Amino acid sequence: MTRDTPHESARSHVRGRSEFVDDRPPLRGELLCGLVVSPHARARIVAVDGTGALAIPGVACVLTAADVHHNRWGPIIEDQPLLADGEVHYVGETVAIVAAASRDALVRGVRAVVVEYEALPAILSIDAAVAAASFIGVERTIARGDVEDALARSPRTLQGRLTIDGADHFYLENQAAIAYPCDGPQIEVHSSTQHPTETQHVVAHACGLGARDVVCVARRLGGAFGGKESQASPIAAYAALVTKATGRAARLVLSKDQDMIITGKRNPFQIGWRCGFDDDGMLRVVDAQLHSDGGAYADLSTAIMERALAHCDNAYFVPAMRVRGRVCRTNVHPHTAFRGFGGPKGVAMIESIIEAVADATGRDSLDVRRANCYRPGHDTTHYEQVVENNCLPELFERLEASCEYRARREEIRRANAQRPERARGLSLTAVKFGISFTTRFMNQANALVNVHADGSVQVSTGAVEMGQGVNTRIAALVAEELSIPQESVRVMPTSTEKNANTAPTAASVGTDVNGAAALDAARRIRARMSALAVRLNDLPREQWPSKCAGVGSAPEIEVAAPSADLSYCGIPFAKLAFECIRNRVSICEYGHFRTPGLSFNKLTGRGRAFRYFTQGVACSEVEVDTLTGEVKVRRVDLLMDIGQPINRALDLGQIYGGFVQGMGWVTTEHLVYDSGAKLLSHSPSTYKIPNIQDTPRRFRVDTIDNNGNTANLRGTKATGEPPLLLAISVWTAIRDAVQSVRSLGDGDGASAIVDLPIPATAERVLRALSPDAFWGVEHSGEVPSRHLGKKR
């Protein structure tokens, strides 16, 4: 059904006419809000004095924890205060809200609030948290087989450690919310949120209102990537608290610096692993311990860890596997969802193991990957879900041939021997990404479809448009179902008064579940319209409802039993819609969908966790300057199985964009904190996201034709998150280049496992190229001035 219509907001975006939260014109009397935040990683609040701020002309109020009706929130565990009370637990934690009538008064008011602190010891790393037994939640384990016995029986074993740092979402539209007072106690909040329902509930609890008195609207987001799934809610609550206190509209929009300092990131991970394998590189066992940095409060970190554990197999069958995960509580901003959730951490782990096994056996890493790939007879995950519609062997085979992997591998070997100072690396990795929330009740959606008398259609769902094109796809689905042009369908801004109790737009299921709910409603409307069309076809036109319903000169046509014929009998859709209204046949419908077949048991770590898997492979070639550590991505060939796409152009956009964002995560996006856990890289000048010069010099994306995905609506597969994980091929290609240089050197460390954290910044690449050169300067920042590419 692919019809590559443009994104529904494309024209308004390029003309600058798309409305985001802060584009809404200010109301008369509207207040601007600012936040007073903690400068300490951990401290006791001795006193908060806002009298100086209140004395400034234009300052309307200063709110503290005492002004919050219910001062605890959290998407899984309610452990985080909206406003700090008694202690602060991270730099950037909100202590007070200031509201003022002008920007100048607001800036002065925020500075005038006096907070007295008593500094307390803080936990600032995963290692420190483990040593102090500072954890969030319980340890989770997913296991299959006798791991210890398999390790003892394996012909060869290895062990290693992988460090994965966090990353910032760097959405273009910062956290933003406007609260408007309505009749009585009611408040309407316009929020840049992925989860309007949660935002509605947090606002209601904070203000002491029922959910009936709060409406949350999310028209569109200027990017989110998971960063607005949970952490948009307190921003909206702060604005709503000011509205409740003053009776005036209140606007809170964070600057980029404020946003980056205050909000959580992708969880840092530390992973220790052991594996057993044979001389051919066949994996027999993997045992891993994953620790993540959750930050000061739980947020979504326990669910992120669960997805990491579920993706530790990635594309490979491991007969015996045990993966254990623990979330650490530290004194940094609470980390949160990010595109891929925990999946990239598990995938990076198993891909690093594959690389180490390839080095140890002297085999090409692609051969090790293909040997261990899921295939018939070896197609059950470590949590006992069968990998159905498995396209991985085909994807590997096709991309290996189309990207000329073998010839390029030989050419790179020759080039590296001749010019090691410009070392090149090549790697081909895969992704098998599970599509569903692992929390079962979240896999549901509802939709309201209204057909109007002129034949035009409005659709409202719980999906939030944040650039990915979910509105365009849902419009296409409804238009196809009703057999009308897509231009006749308008998807409305997401609002909790139309679609309540919805899940966040996350986990790559926005179109899957909301589109299915919209189809459910559209099918029932079509059935009723078709039933009336059949009856009308047997009547003279002068007896149609539009001709006589007004004077009641003819009996009403009964259409209680829908016809098996779902055609409109040649009657134009708009005409038939008008006839339905005149005959009191409803052409408005509320649809609901819940993902079938999910059976994952969180207690046992067993069952069907995902409805299906989106799969893909990518081959990346990089060039590493061994003098500076600079990396350039020379070429990327990417091949994905996305089923039968609703809109292939939008899917390709997701693939390109997701991969480049993943490149940033594994190469340049380095979060730097000072010794007190204050983020230093909190602006575009200090935090390096990919720009146009960083994109691959040659970038080819293709898809396979797959008609075998019967699990999802219209045979489609999600593309929101999976492409990001394919950028791990850039990291493994850098590792390949480093290993090539080390093998050409003096032999020291050439056979050791390459220690290359994520992100592989230029400094880290230099350290990996020559670990001994950095002995004694680990924390000095000094870079030894030796040539790293040639043997001395």
Model pLDDT for residues 685-708, shown as the tens digit of each residue: 999 999 999 999 999 999 999 999
SS (H, E, C) 187-242: EEEEECCCCHHHHHHHHHHHHCCCHHHEEEEECCCCCCCCCCCCCCHHHHHHHHHH
pLDDT at 788: 34
Bridge-partner residues for 118, per DSSP? 44
- The CATH class of 444-594 is alpha beta
Give the residues of the chain that fall short of pLDDT 70. Answer: 1-2, 550, 552-554, 560-564, 746-751, 775-792
Residue 689 tokens read as 């996201």
SS (H, E, C) 338-359: CCCCCHHHHHHHHHHHHHHHHH
C-beta of residue 172 within 8 angstroms of C-beta of residue 223: yes
C-beta of residue 597 within 8 angstroms of C-beta of residue 385: no
Bridge-partner residues for 114, per DSSP? 49
Residue 567 tokens read as 């055609």
**721 in catalytic set:** yes
Residue 462 tokens read as 């719980």
**Residues contacting 204, CB < 8 A, separation 6+:** 210, 211, 213, 214
* CA pair distance 365, 534, nearest whole angstrom: 63
Place of tokens 């606007």: 251
pLDDT at 778: 47
How deeply is 781 buried, as exposed, middle or buried, from its count of CB atoms within 10 A (0-12, 13-18, 19+)?
A: exposed
Distances in whole angstroms, Cα of residue 187 to Cα of each of 237, 254, 301: 11, 21, 30
Candidates 610, 641, 620, 564; CA nearest to 737 is 620
Candidates 372, 126, 167, 169; CA nearest to 270 is 126
Candidates 694, 655, 520; CA nearest to 596 is 520
- Global pTM reads 0.95
Candidates 546, 565, 568, 564; CA nearest to 556 is 546
Amino acid, single-letter form, for residue 366 = L
* CA pair distance 309, 347, nearest whole angstrom: 9
222 alpha-carbon distance from chain centroid: 14
Strand order in the sheet with 94-100: 59-63, 94-100, 31-37, 250-253, 176-181, 187-191, 214-218, 494-495
C-beta of residue 519 within 8 angstroms of C-beta of residue 473: no
Q: Where are the domains of the chain?
A: 10-122+175-253, 269-438+601-740, 444-594
Q: Is 102 left (phi over 0), alpha (psi -120 to 50) or beta?
A: beta
DSSP states of 416-481: HHH-TTEEEEEEEEEEEEEES-SSGGGSEEEEEEEE-TTS-EEEEES---SSS-HHHHHHHHHHHH
* CA pair distance 685, 393, nearest whole angstrom: 43
Place of tokens 């739980």: 298
* CA pair distance 370, 429, nearest whole angstrom: 10
CATH of span 10-122+175-253: 3.90.1170.50
pLDDT at 2: 52
* Structural fold of domain 269-438+601-740: Aldehyde Oxidoreductase; domain 4 (3.30.365)
Q: What angle do CA 533, 536, 538 make, to 5 degrees?
A: 120
Residue 7 tokens read as 């994104």
Q: Is there a shared CATH topology between the 10-122+175-253 domain and the 269-438+601-740 domain?
A: no
* CA pair distance 388, 399, nearest whole angstrom: 21
C-beta of residue 520 within 8 angstroms of C-beta of residue 573: no
Catalytic-role residue among 351, 465, 589, 721: 721
Where does 597-676 have alpha helices with state H? 648-667
Residue 425 tokens read as 């690396």
C-beta of residue 593 within 8 angstroms of C-beta of residue 513: yes
Residue 345 tokens read as 């951490």
* CA pair distance 98, 697, nearest whole angstrom: 49
* CA pair distance 92, 109, nearest whole angstrom: 18
Model pLDDT for residues 218-271, shown as the tens digit of each residue: 999 999 999 999 999 999 999 999 999 999 999 999 999 999 999 999 999 999
pLDDT at 564: 67
